[in-house]
Amino acid sequence: MLRTEIYIPARRRDVVSLVILLLFALLLGRFFFLQIYRYEKYSLLADANRIRMVTQPAPRGNILDRKGEILAANQSIYAISVIKDELIDEDVQMDMMEKYLDRDKRDLQQNLKKYYQGRFLPALIARNVSIAKLSLIEEHNNELPGVFSTKLPVRFYPNVKNVRASHILGYLREINNSELNAMKEGDYVLGDYLGFQGLEKLYENRLRGVKGAEFRQVDALGREVGILIDREPIASSPGENLHLTIDAGLQSRTESLLEGKRGAAVIINAETGEILAMVSKPDFPLIDFSAGMDLDKWQSYSTDESRPLLNRAVLGLYPPGSSFKLITTIAALEQGLVDDKWSVQCTGSYEFGDRTFGCWREDGHGRVNLSRAIVESCNVYFYQLVQRMDIDTWAAYVKLFGFGSPTGIDLPDENDGVVAERAYMNKKYGRWGWAEGSLLHLAIGQGDILVTPLQMAQFIGIVAMKGDQYRPKLVKKKTKDRVVRIPIKSATWRTIHKMTFDVVNKRGGTAFDKELAASDVSAHGKTGTAENPHGDPHAWFVGFAEGKGETIAISLIIENGGTGGSTAAPIASKLIKSYFRVGDATLAADL
């Protein structure tokens, strides 16, 4: 059987040999492709496998006032992290930590789930652990393998001069998943904090700094097997400091004068647009937000009907009241509709059509000319004056001073306000739904006119500078802003300055202040008492003061505070006096 001869043609051998060679060539070609052609790609992949980057947090930039006082800085808090793989009995250890940390076990477990990134990676389970509780954990670290403490930088507020500045500075919030996904750039990770309100939000990119990194070699299970020697760690670089235009002393003084009230105040350097103080009350201590807030506290803030989280200075919308008579006056003077000789008889009320419009002084002002009408704030005079102009003419002057549009301040949100024009009124009430009588209301700052305290401050600043408009700002800039010139005749400015001066300096003026009148500070103002549907009228004061080569503009509102003259004006004069150090020296010493 073995003897069976075989004849195999050479061609058959060659075919088989060729197939073998082709198969080997295929393999070799594939290796060439992977090892030579794609070498770079796979080298990077292999490095990505073995190198773990451990990020080092960057300290956030400090926030300072105009004189260099620190308003917001950083401090370290302690946090407890857990490496799941090293836990021996997760349930028992969680029970122990519940006891030592005095936190709900479910919260700890929820955090572990939320921050879990892998069996061998630390996951944060408790933030802001006090030293006392931390030492309890450290004491029992034999029984708690896999539990570690770490340091985290968080915001800290030194409260120099008791400044809170809650709404200006704003607060940070832990980044959430959807924000993280929407983020196109930046090296944010889950658990990072992100500016969520105020300047912290707007200047997030300047404040946050650049994270550092350390490189560690890890094995396939993710266990660290040492620090890499062939890769230098990258040091974190702290964020930029933010120098504000805020004057900590004035800010603090304003905050304390508004304490216990609802309202807002804005004080601007009229010559530059720099905001010296911006207060909204009620406010909140920022430290509550610095290391994460529990739900109950958040609930109490967000449901408080006095709305402490709202920055009333830029988001609050109010009827401006009588302070708006200044604009009506400017419009009338510019249009040549009035001079000081023209006068009306105020009997305390005015009949227009089938309606009666009242003056605040029910027994009437008697014969009133323009100066008296401003100084004593006579409504009846303005009811008659405004009938000489068209609603759109009036609205054009209102808008000229920036009402109805954002001021452009460097804060994340700002309200536009509302300015009634013919088109607006037609749209809101229908072509025949509103009467010319509406204009009578608008003339004294009531009705379909809503403004923010910041817009009022900007307006009175323009008046102070006789037409120069600066964009209000909170952060100092090296470059000078472009000035917008509002075209108003200088005669008009003279008249307005004279009248607003009398409001403060002339006995009988609604904001008369003896000390200011006697001082060398030249203070001007106009009060307002804005009727509103929520109870007592809002008390307004807008004004400016020149002295020591400086000009500041003030806008101040106390919600439901009564009349501007009795509530708002005294606070404003105190602010002017303490800024220019007039009168009581102890007040000035605060600054």
Partner 1 sequence: MNFYKKLQEAPLHWLVLVFILNGFGLITLYSISQGGASFSFSSRFVKFLFWFFPAFGAFFFFLAIPKRLIHEYSYIAVVFAFASLFLPYLTDPVAGTYRWISMGSVNFQPAEVMKWLVVIALARYLSDHRLQLKKVQSLFVPIIAVMIPAGVIAKQPDLGSAVIIVAPLIPLLYWVGAKPLHIFLLLAPIFSIITAFNYYTFTVWMIFIAVILFFSQSTLRVMLANFFGNVFLGLLTPVIWNSLRAYQKERVLVLLDVTRDPLGAAYQVIQSQTAIGSGGLWGKGFGHGTQTHLKFLPEQETDFIFSVIGEEFGFIAVAFILVLFAFLLLDMIQRAYKTSERFPSLVLFGITALFMSHIFVNVGMTVNLLPVKGLPLPFISYGGTFLVSCYAMLGLAMNMSIESTD
Chain residues in the site for partner 1 (CB under 8 A): 1-6, 8, 10, 12-13, 15-17, 20-21, 23-24, 26-28, 30-32, 34-36, 38-39, 41-43, 45-47, 49-50, 217-221, 225
Note the helical H segments in 33-176.
39-50, 90-101, 105-115, 131-139, 166-169
Residue for token pair 């209301």 = 441
Q: Which residue lies nearer to partner 1 by CB, 18 or 491?
A: 18
Give CA–CA dist 583/23, Å, rounded.
101
Residue pair 215/227 in contact by the 8 Å Cβ criterion: yes
Least distance (Å) from partner 1 to the CB of residue 233?
20
Give CA–CA dist 73/525, Å, rounded.
37
3-state secondary structure 235-270: CCECCCCEEECCCHHHHHHHHHHHCCCCEEEEEEEC
Residue 48 is encoded by which pair of tokens?
């990505």
Strands 366-369 and 343-346: antiparallel
Least distance (Å) from partner 1 to the CB of residue 230?
11
Q: Which residue lies nearer to partner 1 by CB, 1 or 132?
A: 1
Would you give the end-to-end CA distance of the chain in angstroms?
A: 119
Which H or E run includes 578?
helix 569-580
Least distance (Å) from partner 1 to the CB of residue 455?
56
Give CA–CA dist 296/75, Å, rounded.
24
Residue 104 is encoded by which pair of tokens?
């709900």
Q: Which residue lies nearer to partner 1 by CB, 131 or 229?
A: 229
Q: Which residue lies nearer to partner 1 by CB, 15 or 589?
A: 15
Least distance (Å) from partner 1 to the CB of residue 48?
9
Least distance (Å) from partner 1 to the CB of residue 43?
5
Least distance (Å) from partner 1 to the CB of residue 317?
54
- Backbone dihedral region of 309: left (phi > 0), alpha (psi from -120 to 50 degrees) or beta? alpha
Q: Which residue lies nearer to partner 1 by CB, 8 or 295?
A: 8
Q: Which residue lies nearer to partner 1 by CB, 31 or 298?
A: 31
Q: Which residue lies nearer to partner 1 by CB, 28 or 92?
A: 28
Give CA–CA dist 499/371, Å, rounded.
6
Which H or E run includes 200?
helix 198-202
Least distance (Å) from partner 1 to the CB of residue 222?
10
Least distance (Å) from partner 1 to the CB of residue 75?
39
Q: Which residue lies nearer to partner 1 by CB, 3 or 507?
A: 3
Least distance (Å) from partner 1 to the CB of residue 53?
16
Residue 308 is encoded by which pair of tokens?
């402490």
Give CA–CA dist 272/480, Å, rounded.
8
Least distance (Å) from partner 1 to the CB of residue 234?
21
Q: Which residue lies nearer to partner 1 by CB, 7 or 432?
A: 7
Give CA–CA dist 258/340, Å, rounded.
37
> DSSP 3-state assignment of 234?
strand
Rounded to the nearest 5°, which phi and psi values hold at 472? -70, 140
Q: Which residue lies nearer to partner 1 by CB, 225 or 423?
A: 225
The Cβ-side half-sphere exposure at 369, using a 13 Å CA radius, reads 8
